[in-house]
Structures are given as C-alpha cells and as structure tokens.
Amino acid sequence: MADYHFVYKDVEGTTTEWDDLQRKYGNLPPKPDTFKPAPFTPAADPDLRPKSAAWIDEKSPEELEELEDDDLDDDRFLQEYRKKRLAEMQQASKVVRYGSVVPISGSDFVREVSQAPQDVWVVVLLYKDGVPECGLLHTCLEELATRYPATKFVKIISTDCIPNYPDHNLPTILVYNNGAVKGTLVGLSQFGGRRCTPESVALALCKSDPVLNDGHSNNASKDDVIDGVRKKFIETLVTRHEDEEDYSSD
C-alpha cells in the first residue's frame, strides 16, 4: 500500500508553541519578518492631469501646435497662454546662438567681431598660453558662454590682435557691440583675482551695459541682466552649500 505524506502549511508567519519556546532559549533563529508587498499605486495618466500653465510649459513646440482649444477644457486663459508660449518658443528659435568661447585669428577679427550682428554683444578674450590667469578667466567665460548663448564669446592670442601687447596686461577682455568697443577690462583683478567665479565675471561685464543675453529676454535692461546674474549667483551659493553639507554628513 502506498505511503502518503501530508504536509500541513499554516498562514505565513504562524508558529507553534514549541517553536516559540525553542526561540526563547536560543535553539532556533529569530522568526523572520512577514513579507509585506509595497502598496500598489497606479501610474498617473498624463491625459487626466489638470490642465495648467505648468502643464503647457512642459510641451514642446510641436506638441503645442498639435493642441486644440478643445484639449484645454475651453479655458480661455490656457488657450491664450498656449499661443503666448508658442510665440515665445518660435522667437527663441530665431535668436542666434553661440554657446562656447571660439578661438579666432587676427585675420578673422573684423568678420567675427567688428561685423557681428548689431544686436549681438561680443566678448573678446586676449590671452596667451602658459599664463595661469588667462586659464582661470577662460574657464569662467566658458561657463558664461553656455548660460548666455545669445552673447558671442571669442578668444584671440593677444599679440595677434594687438602687436607687442604686454603680457603683464593679460588677461584682457574687450567688449564690442555694433562694431565699436564698449568696454575694456585689463587684468584678473577686474573680476576678483584668482578667486574669480563666473558670477563675478558676469557682474563685471554688465557693470555698464547689458552684455549677457540668454536668448529669452530680448531688449533686457542692464538692471534686468544684473538682477538675473545675482539670482544665479545666489542659486549657485545655495547649491554649493547644500553639496558641502551632504559631503560632510557622509
């Protein structure tokens, strides 16, 4: 006759009095925690999200063009805001964008600087390889070039631009607009010395004119540009402080 074995399995986590007694005297390991799956939360359907200005800001120009008034729940404000955002995006796409510090030679100067579009500010770095101060300022300008892509940044070896230009004046920045020199900043001390930052360089550049242009604020005044630079400076300080706190806590 076949030998049948039955295994009784109770609810997970249930133990017998014998097991409990053995655990009390250390003969069995502690009872493992009962498995509890994480609560299920269904993913939010983006089509069911309330329509708002923030919702429109997330849309690309193509998506905004495809939207119809019916998609905006017949909300007149959202309909007008959509048209405004689309116009802003289209205008921004027309703005000339640079985004880096471009090296030029003496023969390029007139074309790249003097003949730049009238509405474009040009920042010219006079430098020489091997001068540490030039490297420091160049690093700051590279950062500013990415933040303000509608401002043109170029660099040229000092003696290629001005014959016999003295090395003790390096680095030097020339600011051009509409074919004319609008400012000259000689030496790293103009920007805070060896402790210069992109923010200190930005404030020095905008001291008398709205040199920096991010491509989103056309015809911005000098005060508007400086306010924007200061806000960015504060954000950088806050972020740096938070990073230092995270590092120290680790």
User: What would the pLDDT profile of 88-111 be if each residue is shown by its tens digit?
Assistant: 666 665 555 788 999 999 999 999
The answer, yes or no, to whether residue 77 has pLDDT greater than 60, is: no
Amino acid at 86: L
The answer, yes or no, to whether residue 194 has pLDDT greater than 60, is: yes
97: its two tokens:
């964008």
Q: What is the average per-residue pLDDT within 132-155?
A: 95
The candidate with the shortest Cα–Cα distance to 149, out of 246, 199, 89, 216, is 216
Displacement of CA 106 from its chain's centroid (Å):
33
**What confidence score (pLDDT) does residue 126 get?**
98
16-20, 36-40, 81-85, 176-180: least confidently modelled range? 81-85
Displacement of CA 34 from its chain's centroid (Å):
46
Helix (H) or strand (E) holding 99: none
User: 3-state DSSP call for residue 121?
Assistant: strand
The candidate with the shortest Cα–Cα distance to 172, out of 140, 212, 133, is 133
The CA angle 212-216-219, to the nearest 5 degrees, is 65
153: its two tokens:
């940044």
User: 3-state DSSP call for residue 178?
Assistant: coil
The answer, yes or no, to whether residue 80 has pLDDT greater than 90, is: no
Helix (H) or strand (E) holding 232: helix 222-249
The answer, yes or no, to whether residue 140 has pLDDT greater than 90, is: yes
User: 3-state DSSP call for residue 123?
Assistant: strand
Q: Residue 32 has what DSSP assignment?
A: P
- Distance CA(28)–CA(21), nearest Å, equals 9
**What confidence score (pLDDT) does residue 57 get?**
65
Residue identified by tokens 């955002």 is: 85
Mean pLDDT (the chain) is: 79
The answer to whether 188 and 171 are in contact (CB under 8 A) is: yes
Residue identified by tokens 């540490």 is: 132
Q: Is the pTM of this model over 0.85?
A: no
**What confidence score (pLDDT) does residue 72 get?**
53
User: What would the pLDDT profile of 33-65 be if each residue is shown by its tens digit?
Assistant: 777 777 777 776 665 555 656 666 666 666 666
Query: Quick one: what percent of the chain has pLDDT higher than 90?
Result: 39
Question: Angle at which helices 198-205 and 132-147 pack, to 10 degrees?
Answer: 80
The answer to whether 176 and 129 are in contact (CB under 8 A) is: no
Of residues 10 and 40, more confidently modeled? 40
The answer to whether 87 and 115 are in contact (CB under 8 A) is: no
The answer to whether 204 and 219 are in contact (CB under 8 A) is: no
